[in-house]
Amino acid sequence: MTVSGRPVLLVEDEALISAVAADLLDELGYAVVEVGSAKAAMDFAQTRIDDVQVAIVDLGLPDRKGDELVCDLRAMRSDLPVVIATGYGSDAVRGRLKGEEGIVILTKPYDISHLRAALGALKLPCAPNGHAATVGEGQ
């Protein structure tokens, strides 16, 4: 069951984490476009930002900080819903993005229930079922 024809832009440099996150998003009914760097995300966004339903961005990307990427993506499309995934404390991230609407912080490791809650906080629909895999365990 697909809840929307518009894809999730998943920006995650760790291949295993990206694969598990993409599987969870599939379980929740989303099509996923996976990219492994801020540069690849910006390349995709140059032509397809309006197609994206939500961006899920890892904070610790190798080529750029995830929150900087989010600022650039939102400069291209100010209403883009964003989930920032981080294995670090969320207080510092919240401080940098204070006052930003439509941004949710998701702390790693996360599972399908956490991902569903983050998407729900952005008022995005999810398919009703899912499994118990965990993303980012040990990261």
Give the three-state DSSP class for 100: coil
pLDDT confidence bin for 138, thresholds 50/70/90: very low
Average pLDDT over residues 54-65: 95
Evaluate whether residue 135 is within a structural domain.
no
Range of the domain at 40: 8-127
pLDDT confidence bin for 89, thresholds 50/70/90: low
How many independent structural domains does the chain possess? Answer: 1
Residue-level pLDDT at 3: 64
Evaluate whether residue 134 is within a structural domain.
no
| CA pair distance 131, 2, nearest whole angstrom | 16
Evaluate whether residue 2 is within a structural domain.
no
The CATH number of the domain holding residue 89 is 3.40.50.2300
Amino acid, res. 92: A
pLDDT in tens, 112-136: 999 999 999 999 988 876 544 456 6
pLDDT at 93 exceeding the cut of 90? no
Share of the chain above pLDDT 70, in %: 83
Amino acid, res. 63: D
pLDDT in tens, 22-54: 999 999 999 999 999 999 999 999 999 999 999
Amino acid, res. 29: G
Give which of 76, 74, 120 is closest to 101, Cα–Cα.
74
Evaluate whether residue 26 is within a structural domain.
yes
Share of the chain above pLDDT 90, in %: 70
Half-sphere exposure of residue 72: CA atoms within 13 angstroms, side-chain side: 16
Strand-pairing partners, residue 103, are 82
